């Protein structure tokens, strides 16, 4: 069996054999086909009878140097049955748009390190897993949570963003945030703490040490 | 051996198939229906959105990503936002549950029958009990052996015993459990008899076919009759499965109503009336090693508060989740994590009166659910009795984790104060929601129910709903056996029709 890719287009601005000035065109040059004659092939289609698009007549021609070379390859197409299903189109924005930027990820990692008091974590594999997983709510929520915990210290008595605080001040801020009356602030800390724990125990050495 | 005939990750072009019955979903309800029908020689195709999991290869965040819908971060929004956990894998939520097996509570059935006598005729208790017994035998349901329970479960027993509250080992569907504590991430040894290890292999042996990685988007309804389903594979290829006899929806109380609504089948209260068992947990520290991640994941339960709508269970979490439940940040947390083996987390499942709603959203279902004031009081009592039981079991510290109350409690009198002084604001409690019901409820009245008492859809002929969507109320107990039992009765009706 031979398979080719194509697009069906209206034949405007495309070299056409004489007499074919209406109908549709199967254009193989627009599909990702391997190099070969098919890349210069086109099939004009016309209806065999008026007002009936279920039986079509086609012919194959080649376009070489802008000129049409007709071939004796004629064919008919007959509709087997009406289209009974159009796939549900998921209008979701690409989750990639929700991915943290490099600087936001750095802020998140600073929060992770301060929450766990572990120093730097190697989170490369963890972030890869997070990015591959279809968890749009986490992705959508993570950015405002990281921003909240990064910049809340500026207006809550610390006078600077989280990344500019000393290790002791970072810890004092996080302790205060964990008891904050504002639900979103508490939830932001709970979420970042949960992700920090996931990242920490994603390291097989850390996991093995804890389980032993 | 793979169970899956067709993996949607490799289905790039249009796929079509025909069968007698198409079943949407491979969890406890779908697997039960498929097994029942295949055993009768009826051709069945099971269509599952998730993939076949290789559970021995994953743990921690990777297990969440591989097995849970949206990594376990699906949220119900309301007066307290709660994650609800669902499996998205061949075998459905049975792959990631604690294997807890309860029989259908007689009192609940009596209530259903009292509200709608037609349900009593359709679900006779004797038949229900007989079906349950057959299911339990196949799934090898039995009480957790003390040898695999592990300290966390034995401590719960000790605490309940000290308080004089009824308790018992949890009956679970497993054979050969070694107490590895991995139920919630899929048993790595296949000892938990989840659907992918029991009913689905039975169904496949009798000729059922399983398509995985295939998301059903709608039911094909022609001239008032369900003729099949259509959707998209994980690789983006459209598919249509034609059903000569019936379409059975078993996609969960969240996905089933969305599927009905997307198919234009929005009559009656479809998507309304969501009920659940919200859960709250308490962490405690013991003087001796507990190793909460080892031993039967959920091996012991306190049943003495069931009349109040509360049931306590030991919770065996992965290290990463356990760590996130330990109080503190920074150096305090680091100190505590250095002795993480001393910490345990126990939970209370609340039989809540709250009701919610499910609607299809642009990318995910939109779920709203709020606790009633009485539910919050019940939750507060749950935290109190969890803490008291922990202290009675020998915990040196208990962490209620509720703003406005002492973060550390060391004696039972202080814990008792929580029931008077603890918050009655729902959002002050960190909760999660399991066991979802009621979004396509069964009933005899077309205006107030979605399916008839025999599981047939009120409007579309040849369409059945077999999952917990049909339950008119929550149960107060873990529902997988009840779901399978009703699904088996649904399958009998499909076969007879």
A28: part of which helix (H) or strand (E)?
Answer: none
Q: Three-state SS for A11? A: coil
Q: Three-state SS for B482? A: helix
**Average pLDDT in the B297-319 region?**
95
CB-based contact B240 A84, cutoff 8 Å: yes
Q: Give the pLDDT confidence score for residue A120 in this predicted structure.
A: 75
Name which of B330, B331, B339, B406 to mutate to probe chain A: the one with the most chain A Cβ atoms within 10 A of its Cβ.
Answer: B330
**Average pLDDT in the B104-132 region?**
95
Instruction: Classify residue B454: in a domain, yes or no.
Output: yes
Q: Give the pLDDT confidence score for residue A92 in this predicted structure.
A: 44
Residue A88: which of B217, B340, B430 has the nearest Cβ? Answer: B217
Q: Which residues of B touch A92 (CB under 8 A)?
A: 362-363
Q: Between these two residues, B57 and B36, which has the higher pLDDT value?
A: B36
Min Cα distance B321 → chain A (Å) is: 7
What is chain B's mean pLDDT, rounded? 95
Residue A197: which of B70, B320, B341 has the nearest Cβ? Answer: B320
Closest-CA residue to B180 (of B215, B144, B145, B150): B150
How far is it, in rounded angstroms, from Cα B465 to Cα B442? 9
Nearest residue in A to B328, CA atom: A175
Instruction: Classify residue B113: in a domain, yes or no.
Output: yes
Instruction: Classify residue B72: in a domain, yes or no.
Output: no
Nearest residue in B to A192, CA atom: B324
Q: Which residues of A touch B81 (CB under 8 A)?
A: 187
**Average pLDDT in the B42-60 region?**
85
Residue A114: which of B60, B230, B330 has the nearest Cβ? Answer: B330
Question: Is residue B271 within 8 Å of B357, Cβ to Cβ?
Answer: yes
Q: Give the pLDDT confidence score for residue A83 in this predicted structure.
A: 58
Domain boundary among B433, B451, B479: B433
Nearest residue in A to B262, CA atom: A88
Q: Between these two residues, A110 and A20, which has the higher pLDDT value?
A: A110
Could you give the count of Cα atoms lying within 13 Å of B387 in the half-sphere of its Cβ?
28
Nearest residue in A to B319, CA atom: A201
Residues B361 and B448 in one domain: no
Cα separation values, B268 from A108, B343, B347, Å: 46, 48, 35
**Domain enclosing residue B359, as ranges:** 142-183+274-433
Domain boundary among B433, B452, B474: B433
How far is it, in rounded angstroms, from Cα B417 to Cα B396? 17
Q: Buried (b) or exposed (e) across A40-65, using 16+ Cβ within 10 A?
A: ebbbbbeeeeeeeeeebebbbbebee
Instruction: Classify residue B82: in a domain, yes or no.
Output: no
Residue A1 pLDDT greater than 70, yes or no = no
Residues B291 and B355 in one domain: yes
A191 at B interface, C-beta within 8 A: no
How far is it, in rounded angstroms, from Cα B121 to Cα B454? 10
- By the 10 Å C-beta count (0-12 exposed, 13-18 middle, 19+ buried), B329 is classed as buried
pLDDT band at residue A134 under the 50/70/90 scheme: low
B435 is catalytic: yes
Q: Give the pLDDT confidence score for residue A91 in this predicted structure.
A: 41
Name which of A3, A87, A181 to mutate to probe chain B: the one with the most chain B Cβ atoms within 10 A of its Cβ.
Answer: A87
Residues B167 and B245 in one domain: no
Size of interface A-B (CB pairs under 8 A): 120
Residue B197 pLDDT greater than 70, yes or no = yes
Residues B345 and B468 in one domain: no
**Average pLDDT in the B11-32 region?**
95
Question: Is residue B463 within 8 Å of B21, Cβ to Cβ?
Answer: no
**Average pLDDT in the A35-60 region?**
85
Q: What is the DSSP string of A52-105?
A: EEEEEEEEEEEEETTEEEEEEEEEEEE--S-----PPP--PPPGGGGSPPHHHH
Chain B residue set in contact with A, beta carbons under 8 Å: 59-62, 64-65, 70-71, 73-75, 81, 217-218, 220, 230-232, 238, 240, 262, 293, 318-321, 323-324, 328-334, 337, 340-341, 362-364, 403, 407, 427, 430
Q: Give the pLDDT confidence score for residue A93 in this predicted structure.
A: 46
ipTM for this model: 0.86
CB-based contact A85 B240, cutoff 8 Å: yes
Catalytic residue among B51, B245, B300, B435: B435
- Summarised one tens digit per residue, pLDDT across range B219-259 is 999 999 999 999 999 999 999 999 999 999 999 999 999 99
Report the percentage of chain A scoring pLDDT > 70. Answer: 90
Q: Residue B331 is part of a domain; what is its CATH number? A: 3.30.560.10
Residues B401 and B307 in one domain: yes
The alpha carbon torsion through B65, B97, B269, B450 (nearest 10 deg) reads: 110
Q: Give the pLDDT confidence score for residue A84 in this predicted structure.
A: 54
DSSP label at residue B308: G
Q: Residue B453 is part of a domain; what is its CATH number? A: 3.50.50.60
How far is it, in rounded angstroms, from Cα B53 to Cα B50? 9
Residue A85: which of B60, B71, B238 has the nearest Cβ? Answer: B238
Min Cα distance B414 → chain A (Å) is: 20
Residue A135: which of B73, B324, B337 has the nearest Cβ? Answer: B73
Instruction: Classify residue B358: in a domain, yes or no.
Output: yes
- By the 10 Å C-beta count (0-12 exposed, 13-18 middle, 19+ buried), A178 is classed as buried
- Domain positions in chain A are 7-78, 95-211
Residue B206 pLDDT greater than 70, yes or no = yes
Residues B301 and B320 in one domain: yes
Q: Any idea which of A49-53, B106-110, B163-167, B193-197 has the lowest mean pLDDT?
A: A49-53
Query: In chain A, which among 167-186 make CB contacts under 8 A with chain B?
Result: 170-171, 174-175, 178-179, 181, 183, 186
Residue B213 pLDDT greater than 90, yes or no = yes
Residue B65: which of A132, A190, A210 has the nearest Cβ? Answer: A132
- Summarised one tens digit per residue, pLDDT across range B434-467 is 999 999 999 999 999 999 999 999 999 999 999 9
Instruction: Classify residue B396: in a domain, yes or no.
Output: yes
Report the percentage of chain B scoring pLDDT > 70. Answer: 99
CB-based contact A133 B71, cutoff 8 Å: yes
Q: Which residues of B touch A183 (CB under 8 A)?
A: 427
Residue B1 pLDDT greater than 80, yes or no = no
Instruction: Classify residue B225: in a domain, yes or no.
Output: yes
pLDDT band at residue A202 under the 50/70/90 scheme: confident
Residue B65 pLDDT greater than 90, yes or no = no
- Summarised one tens digit per residue, pLDDT across range A68-126 is 888 888 889 888 766 555 544 444 445 566 678 889 999 999 999 999 998 777 888 88
Q: Give the pLDDT confidence score for residue A121 in this predicted structure.
A: 78
Residues B295 and B240 in one domain: no
Q: Three-state SS for B30? A: helix
Closest-CA residue to B76 (of B373, B436, B363, B385): B436
Residues B362 and B419 in one domain: yes
Q: Three-state SS for A27? A: strand
Residues B264 and B278 in one domain: no
Instruction: Classify residue B68: in a domain, yes or no.
Output: no
In the numeric block, which tokens belong to residue B327? Answer: 């109080």
Report the percentage of chain B scoring pLDDT > 90. Answer: 90
Count how many domains chain B has: 2
């Amino acid at each position: 069996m031979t398979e080719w890719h194509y697009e069906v287009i209206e034949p405007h601005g495309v070299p056409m054999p004489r007499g074919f000035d209406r109908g549709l065109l199967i254009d193989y040059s627009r599909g990702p086909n391997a190099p070969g004659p098919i890349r210069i092939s086109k099939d004009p289609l016309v209806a065999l009878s008026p007002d009936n698009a279920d039986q079509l007549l086609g012919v194959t021609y080649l376009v070489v140097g802008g000129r049409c070379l007709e071939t004796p390859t004629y064919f008919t197409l007959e509709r087997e049955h009406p289209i009974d299903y159009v796939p549900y189109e998921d209008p979701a924005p690409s989750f990639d748009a929700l991915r943290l930027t490099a600087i936001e990820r750095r802020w998140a990692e600073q929060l992770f390190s301060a929450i766990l008091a572990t120093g730097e974590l190697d989170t490369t594999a963890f972030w890869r897993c997070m990015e591959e997983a279809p968890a749009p709510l986490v992705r959508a929520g993570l950015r405002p949570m990281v921003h909240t915990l990064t910049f809340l210290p500026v207006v809550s008595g610390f006078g600077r963003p989280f990344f500019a605080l000393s290790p002791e001040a970072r810890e004092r801020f996080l302790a205060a945030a964990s008891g904050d009356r504002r639900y979103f602030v508490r939830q932001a800390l709970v979420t970042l703490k949960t992700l920090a724990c996931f990242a920490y125990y994603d390291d097989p050495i850390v996991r093995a040490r804890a389980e032993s | 051996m793979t169970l899956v005939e067709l993996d949607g990750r490799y289905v790039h072009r249009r796929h079509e198939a025909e069968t007698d019955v198409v079943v949407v979903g491979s969890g406890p309800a779908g697997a039960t229906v498929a097994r029942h029908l295949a055993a009768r020689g009826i051709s069945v195709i099971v269509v599952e959105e998730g993939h076949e999991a290789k559970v021995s290869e994953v743990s921690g965040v990777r297990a969440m990503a591989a097995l849970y819908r949206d990594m376990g971060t699906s949220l119900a929004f309301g007066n307290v936002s709660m994650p609800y956990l669902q499996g998205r894998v061949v075998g459905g939520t049975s792959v990631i549950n604690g294997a807890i097996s309860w029989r259908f509570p007689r009192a609940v059935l009596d209530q259903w029958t009292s509200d709608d006598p037609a349900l009593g005729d359709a679900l006779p208790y004797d038949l229900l009990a007989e079906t349950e017994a057959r299911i339990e035998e196949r799934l090898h349901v039995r009480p957790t052996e003390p040898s695999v329970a592990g300290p966390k479960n034995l401590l719960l027993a000790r605490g309940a015993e000290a308080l004089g509250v009824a308790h018992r080992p949890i009956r679970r569907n497993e054979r050969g459990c070694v107490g590895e504590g991995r139920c919630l991430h899929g048993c790595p040894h296949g000892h938990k008899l989840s659907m992918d290890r029991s009913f689905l292999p039975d169904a496949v042996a009798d000729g059922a076919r399983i398509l995985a990685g295939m998301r059903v988007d709608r039911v094909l309804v022609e001239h008032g009759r369900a003729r099949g389903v259509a959707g998209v594979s994980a690789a983006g290829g459209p598919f249509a499965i034609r059903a000569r006899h019936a379409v059975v929806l078993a996609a969960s109380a969240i996905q089933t109503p969305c599927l009905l609504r997307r198919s234009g089948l929005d009559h009656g209260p479809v998507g309304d009336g969501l009920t659940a068992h919200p859960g709250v947990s308490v962490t405690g520290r013991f003087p001796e090693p507990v190793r909460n991640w080892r031993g039967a994941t959920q091996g012991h339960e306190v049943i003495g508060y069931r009349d109040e709508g509360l049931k306590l269970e030991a919770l065996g979490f992965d290290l990463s989740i356990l760590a996130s439940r330990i109080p503190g940040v920074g150096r305090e947390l680091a100190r505590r994590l250095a002795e993480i083996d001393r910490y345990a987390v126990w939970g209370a499942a609340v039989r809540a009166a709250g009701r919610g709603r499910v609607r299809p959203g642009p990318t995910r279902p939109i779920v709203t659910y709020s606790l009633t004031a009485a539910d919050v009081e019940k939750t507060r009592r749950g935290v109190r009795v969890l803490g008291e039981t922990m202290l009675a079991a020998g915990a040196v510290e208990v962490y209620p984790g509720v703003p406005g109350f002492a973060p550390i409690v060391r004696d039972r009198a202080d814990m008792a104060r929580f029931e008077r002084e603890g918050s009655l604001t729902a959002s002050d409690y960190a909760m999660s929601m399991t066991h979802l019901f009621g979004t396509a409820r069964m009933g005899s009245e077309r205006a107030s129910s979605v399916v008839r008492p025999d599981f047939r859809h009120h409007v579309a002929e040849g369409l059945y709903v077999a999952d917990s969507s049909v339950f008119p109320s929550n149960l107060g107990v873990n529902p997988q056996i009840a779901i399978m039992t009703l699904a088996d009765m649904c399958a009998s009706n499909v076969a007879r029709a």
